[in-house]
Amino acid sequence: MLKVGSLDSPSAALTLSRPVRPFDDELMLDFLVTARGEWGRVETAVSVWVTDGLGDFLASLSEDFRGWKGSRVWKSPDHSLRVSAEHRSRGRVHLTWTLSGTDIERPWDFSCTTVHPAGEDMRHLAADVRDFLRVATE
C-alpha cells in the first residue's frame, strides 16, 4: 500500500493498494485507488502498464525542481487516473489526481490536489510509486 498526502491540506490524500496482475504473462497491473478530498471520498480500479511511466513522470517533476510553466499531465491507458502537475510559488508542486469512472452508465470524475515540496520530496514520491509498481510484478 502506498499513501500520498498533502503538505498544505490534510483533507487531500490518495492511497494506492491491492495491486494484482490480471494476466501472468503481461506487464498489466490493476490496483485500487482511494482518493479523499474536501468534498468526499471515492475508490476505483486503475489499470496500467507497469512500463507506462507514472514513476518516470513523477521523477521528471523532481528533476525540474526549479519549476516549469503550465501543466504537465500523465494519464493511465484506461483513462481512469489522470495526474496533472503544476509548479507554483515557494517551490511547491501541486498534483491534481483525477479519478474517472462510470456508475450505472453515468460517467463521473473526482479530483483531489496534493501539495509537495519540489526536488527531493518529489524524488521520494517517484521512487515510492516505482517500488509499488515493481513489487506487484515480482
The domains of the chain are located at 2-137
pLDDT in the model for residue 70: 92
* CATH dotted code for 2-137: 2.30.31
pLDDT in the model for residue 100: 94
Cα 136 to Cα 138: distance, rounded to the nearest angstrom: 6
Cα 73 to Cα 85: distance, rounded to the nearest angstrom: 6
Residue type at position 21 = R
Cα 10 to Cα 126: distance, rounded to the nearest angstrom: 20
pLDDT in the model for residue 75: 95
pLDDT in the model for residue 137: 52
pLDDT in the model for residue 31: 92
pLDDT in the model for residue 115: 92
What strands lie across the sheet with 40-49, from one edge to the other?
A: 2-5, 13-20, 28-37, 40-49
For residue 135, what are the CA distances in angstroms to 14, 42, 108? 19, 25, 30
**Is the pTM for the entire model greater than 0.85?**
yes
pLDDT tens digits in sequence order for the chain, 138 residues long: 999 987 677 778 999 998 888 777 677 889 999 999 888 899 999 988 877 789 889 999 988 878 889 999 999 998 999 999 999 877 899 999 999 987 778 899 999 999 999 888 999 999 999 898 876 555
Cα 90 to Cα 82: distance, rounded to the nearest angstrom: 24
Length in residues, the chain: 138
From 97, 57, 49, 56, select the one nearest 76 (Cα to Cα).
49
